[in-house]
Amino acid sequence: MTKKRVAILISGRGSNMMALVEAAEAPDYPAEIVMVISNRPDAAGLAWARERGIPALGLDHKRYESREHFEGQMQSALELAKVDIVCCAGFMRLMTAGFVDQWRDRMLNIHPSLLPSFKGLHTHARALAAGVKIAGCTVHFVRSEMDEGPILAQAAVPVLDGDTEDALADRILNLEHRIYPQALRILATGQAVIEGERVRFRVPVNQMPPLISPSV
């Protein structure tokens, strides 16, 4: 099996990065994590990746004269590492259309809401304020608009009476750590294709590994 070469973009601790790295340690996982890049050189996730022997690069976006200049350096690093797929995992930078287009249908993001609801920041607080009964997370292909793009996978949890923002965030983060590696597996094995900005699976869903366990 030829594994897809994956780079992960982070801005902080990178807990979803950790979940992807740990999943990729399985011999039968169809992707390998070959690089971690952060726009913050002091991001804790960089040290974590280096401890596991993964090349980790800190590119301080504040030191570049433009967004395009920063992204050009990032693109050079990705090309040098022969990356096939990019996974955004808490990468807190909006990317230009030019950069996104270079990775069209090969770049994923995970967002802590059931898109298209609650795009942007403070998703859990906004969900609670809106009184929704179900919340969750979404893995989607990246487009130049914020939190836009074809949806590859979603997982949901009930919003409980008395939920706080932190309590809801913790339950959803647990889902994120489970759904992102499984969504990457689907992409890396070529089981997902995009038609008209919607994801179609090459095999029936009931023949694919479940995106989350039945206990959720």
pLDDT, mean of residues 101-108: 98
**End-to-end Cα, the chain, rounded Å:** 31
Does the pTM of the predicted model rise above 0.85?
yes
Task: Write down the H helix ranges in 96-143.
Answer: 97-102, 123-130
Task: Give the lowest-confidence range in 29-33, 57-61, 201-205, 209-213.
Answer: 209-213
* 3-35 per-position pLDDT tens digit: 999 999 999 999 999 999 999 999 999 999 999
> Which fold would CATH assign to domain 111-216?
Rossmann fold (3.40.50)
Domain ranges in the chain are 1-103, 111-216
Tokens of 66: 């433009």
Catalytic residues, by residue number, are 111
Contact between residue 179 and residue 114 where contact means Cβ atoms under 8 Å apart: no
Bridge-based pairing of strands 4-10 and 31-38 is parallel
Fold classification of 1-103 (topology level): Rossmann fold (3.40.50)
**pLDDT mean across residues, the chain:** 94
- The total of other beta-carbon atoms located within 10 Å of residue 104's CB is 13
pLDDT tens figures, 77-97: 999 999 999 999 999 999 999
Rounded distance, CA 73 to CA 55, Å? 15
| 3 state SS of 77 | helix
Mean pLDDT for 119-141 is 98
- Radius of gyration for the chain, computed over Cα atoms and rounded to the nearest angstrom: 17
Chain segment 161-194, per-residue pLDDT in tens: 999 999 999 999 999 999 999 999 999 999 999 9
- Distance CA(207)–CA(113), nearest Å, equals 26
